[in-house]
Amino acid sequence: MASITKRGKYWRAQIVRKGFPPQFHTFDTKAEAEAWARATESEMDQGRFVSRVEAERTTLAQALERYWTSVASHKRHPRQERYRINHWLRQPLRHFALANLKGAHFAQYRDERRAAGRAENTIRLELALVSHLFEIARKEWGMSGLLNPLKDIRKPSGSRERDRRLRTGEYELIAEALSASDNSWVRPAFDLAIETSLRQGMLFKLQWEWVHLDRRVVIIPGEHRGVGNKVVPAAIPLSSKAVETLRSIPPAARGPVFQTTQNAVVCVWKRTLKELGITDLRWHDLRHEAASRLFERGLNPMEVASITGHKNLTMLRRYTHLAAENLAAKLG
């Protein structure tokens, strides 16, 4: 039989039953305490009882730090996980106990992030981290009765598929403008982005000791190849244009290929496009351009994937936008 007592202005319900851990909870009213006691004892009678004490004691902030220590910090590339955890640790929801968090809380968070202009994929990844935290807590931290509130809300669909490629005459226009820039590294970076299909971050990590111009290949060390959808092939073949571009750069025995920062190049890139009146082109679109050009040169999907690093044909399709004019020419 439950024991219900008043302590100050609150009501405390306690259940002590053989074969179960002691259960206790504090409520604002006696009616709430009695209702909780009846429901808990009924679950015990039916063999459905699962203790919620741990989930009621653990705040989201505490769970996030435990998740970092036991899960996220052991990932191959934990920096982004730490960044997202720090973001959640600044949110009001950090004070809530895990058992008290509902789908409505995260639906409101999703809508507020959208209203603030955050990308759909950014919001999706933030929610995915907390969803995985709930699953780990339920399966491995002794909170088997904890429900995952993220399963009750609509998730952002992720980033929108883009199909932007360089239009007729744009390559020449942009290349000429970049060549006239005070930063002499911008034009080579532009050309290599198209010729190698490398993502921006990997492009500016290139080291001379990885480059083998005699073999027309770049060998990427294992620790720099990435994981998941950011993987980079172990060996990247170089086109004649890529070799020509690399030979135009002052060579060195070791060290970065680009003796400038990624940010410096991107700033020049954005400023140049603005001056040219090109408002809908992003640097990452050059990767779409690269994949599409590889197909237009006659390479098959497996050959293209071995250069771009795509693990499946679905993702490769998203990056490939063949020009109808070139397809018409093949049709004869």
Map out the domains of the chain as residue ranges.
Answer: 3-49, 57-152, 170-331
The segment with the largest mean pLDDT, out of 15-19, 68-72, 117-121, 302-306, is 68-72
CB contact at 8 A, 101 and 93:
yes
Give me the long-range contacts of 179-184 (CB less than 8 A, separation at least 24). 181/268, 181/272, 183/260, 183/264, 183/265, 183/268
Render pLDDT for 29-42 as a digit per residue (tens, 0 to 9). 888 888 877 877 77
Using the 8-state DSSP alphabet, how is residue 207 labeled?
B
Q: How many CB atoms lie within 10 A of CB 119?
A: 14
Q: Could you tell me how many helices (H) and strands (E) the chain has, helices first?
A: 15, 6
CATH T-level assignment (fold) for domain 170-331: hpI Integrase; Chain A (1.10.443)
The pLDDT value given to residue 320: 66
Q: What's the pLDDT band for 212 if we cut at 50, 70, 90?
A: very high
Q: How confident is the model over 268-277, as pLDDT tens digits? A: 999 999 999 9
CA dihedral sign, ordered 283, 289, 294, 295? positive
- pLDDT at residue 82 above 80? yes
Q: 71 is written with which tokens?
A: 């899960």
Q: What value does the mean pLDDT take over residues 301-309? A: 85
Q: Nearest CA to 293 among 166, 186, 121, 201?
A: 166
Q: Does domain 57-152 have CATH number 1.10.150.130?
A: yes
Check residue 48 and give its pLDDT: 64
**How much is the pTM?**
0.59
- Using an 8 Å Cβ cutoff, are 316 and 310 in contact? yes
DSSP state string for 114-148: HHTT--HHHHHHHHHHHHHHHHHHHHHSS-TT---
Mean of pLDDT over the chain: 86
Average pLDDT over residues 63-89: 92
pLDDT level of residue 162 (50, 70, 90 thresholds): confident
* Nearest in space to 65 (alpha carbons), one of 146, 119, 141: 141
pLDDT of 1 reads 67
% of the chain residues with pLDDT over 70: 89
Pick the residue with more confidence: 142 or 123?
123
